[in-house]
Every structure is written in C-alpha cells, then in structure tokens.
Amino acid sequence: MLTIVILSNSSKAISGLKTILELYMYEKMFPIDVKVCKEIKDILKLNLPNAIIFITDSKERNAVKTAKILRDHSHTEALVLITDNIELVYEAFKVSAYRVLKAPVANADIFEVIDSFRKRALSTHIVVVKNGIESISLAMSDIIYIASINRETKIFTKHGEILATVPLLQIVAQLPEEFFYMCHRSYIVNLVNIRSVSTTVDKITLVDGTVLPISRRRKANFMGAREKFMQNHTYTIIS
C-alpha cells in the first residue's frame, strides 16, 4: 500500500486533495493510506521513506523552506510542492522536489505523480530467492517468468536463470498480485515483461521471445488481471 501525506493548513486544499486521491483509488483500484498533517513537526515524527508528501504553499508556510527542513532532517520521501508561485520551480531543485504543481491542482496532475512514483518504485523492488543456503536478491522488474520444470522451480530473469528450492505455489503466494500472475499451473508470468497476448491462441509472448501457454480455465481471469495492470501502468500507446 502506498502512503501519501498531505501537509497543509488549508481545509480547502486538504479536502480537494483527499477527493482526488479517493477518485484515484476508485478508478485505479489501488489502495492508498492518506495521512493529513497541519504542522511539520508531525511529519518529523514519522518514518516514511517510500511515501509521497504533498506540501501546499501559503502565506503561513513556504513550501520550499518546509521541504528544506524535511531534507535537513534526513527525510527522503518524494516531495511534491503545490503552489501558485511559478518562481518556486527553480528553488525546488535545491530540495530535490519530485514535482512542482501549479495550484489549484487538476486530477490529471495528481494521477501523473502517483503513476510515475509507482512505476519508479517497481524498478527498485527487490525479490529475495532462497536457493539452498544461499539467498539471491533480484530486482522485481528483472524477473520475466517462473516455471516448474521436471519438479524443479526455475526463475528466468533478464540476466539468466536461477534454480529455486521453493515450490511454485509457495512463490506465487508471496509475490504481489498486481505484477505476477499464474497463467498456467506450471508458469508464473511477470505482467511487466509481456510483449503480446494472442487473442486467438492461448499463449503469451514475453520480452525475451519465450512463448508460454495460458490455461483455458485461467484465461478470463488472466485477461482481467492484465487489463487492470495495463490501465494502471500504460503511459503511451502507439497504433
């Protein structure tokens, strides 16, 4: 679950942001834990390295100065500054702001921030695979698919294959459903690394050229999972 903190002393700004975030959760079917703080001291007590913090600019609070205080206290969250002062864009670089948004913010602006953050976060997610006494760390986006072959579990990555000692069903139970799907009793596919899905034949083509079968009884659910994934993670479609 993604945590988003709203730092604002404006009831109107808080209400507006919460409404947009609720709409995002509804449309994207993605859970968000929304926290509201009116004072920076409340955030300084929190430890949220993988969160987004929206900071609204006002007469009472300068968004850049507030961001600097957080950075000076070793806060590494993605800071999004919301202001009607366009000149703050240049100052925002000094505090490594993730985004600067023009107030009042539009739904599309907030959606883009969250989508971009989720996409970036995926590239840094780590999966630890146990192989006997050895533990191997993999970037989640590097996993192409996982297969059960001749009673052995193999993880096929962009850099080669790894033999795992954990059964396939145990692996799929531990992976995030948003990105991994068991398309067949012998295969788990990473939805990130699908090149194409045949609409006439029950098969998937992956980015490395591997072709995997889709179980007929799983196909409808698989297509639904992939459609949901595409809605949440596709940014440009060229036809």
First to last CA, the chain: 33
Same fold, 2-123 and 126-233: no
Question: Per-residue pLDDT for 108 more than 90?
Answer: yes
Q: What is the CATH number of domain 2-123?
A: 3.40.50.2300
Residue 237, pLDDT score: 38
Non-local (6+) Cβ contacts of 145 within 8 A are 156, 187, 188, 189, 190, 193, 206, 210, 212
The β-bridge partners of 32 are 2
Fold for 126-233, please state it. Answer: OB fold (Dihydrolipoamide Acetyltransferase, E2P) (2.40.50)
Residue 236, pLDDT score: 42
Residue spans per domain, the chain? 2-123, 126-233
For residue 210, what pLDDT band results from cuts at 50, 70 and 90? very high
Residue 232, pLDDT score: 64
Question: Per-residue pLDDT for 238 more than 50?
Answer: no
% of the chain surpassing 70 pLDDT: 94
Rounded distance, CA 79 to CA 77, Å? Answer: 6
Residue 123, pLDDT score: 59
Count Cβ atoms below 10 Å from residue 177 Cβ, excluding itself: 13
Question: Per-residue pLDDT for 128 more than 70?
Answer: yes
